[in-house]
């Protein structure tokens, strides 16, 4: 699965406890620092889960050697 261009490498800044996320498509989101941390944790978990699923769908190294 390829990431959407709008969600790749957003610009993130923080000022006075407000985290601003600006997507490459121009959408802007203001979050509290706590909400930004929770979102970040969810994104990392989702990415790890997706990578694990991709690895499970790939042939195993010992299968390729046969």
Task: Write down the pLDDT at residue 13.
Answer: 93
Residue 11 and residue 22 in contact, taking contact as beta carbons nearer than 8 Å: yes
pLDDT band for 65, please (50, 70, 90 cuts). low
Give this prediction's pTM: 0.57
CA torsion angle 61 63 64 66 (round to 10): 130
d(CA 66, CA 59): 11
The pLDDT tens digits of the residues spanning 1-51 come to 455 666 677 889 999 989 999 988 889 999 999 999 998 898 889 888 888
């Amino acid at each position: 699965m390829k990431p959407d261009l709008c969600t790749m490498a957003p610009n993130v800044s923080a000022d006075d406890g407000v985290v601003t996320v600006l997507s490459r498509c121009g959408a802007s989101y203001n979050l509290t620092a706590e909400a930004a941390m929770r979102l970040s944790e969810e994104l990392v978990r989702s990415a790890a889960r997706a990578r694990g699923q991709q690895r499970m769908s790939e042939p195993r190294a010992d299968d390729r050697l046969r």
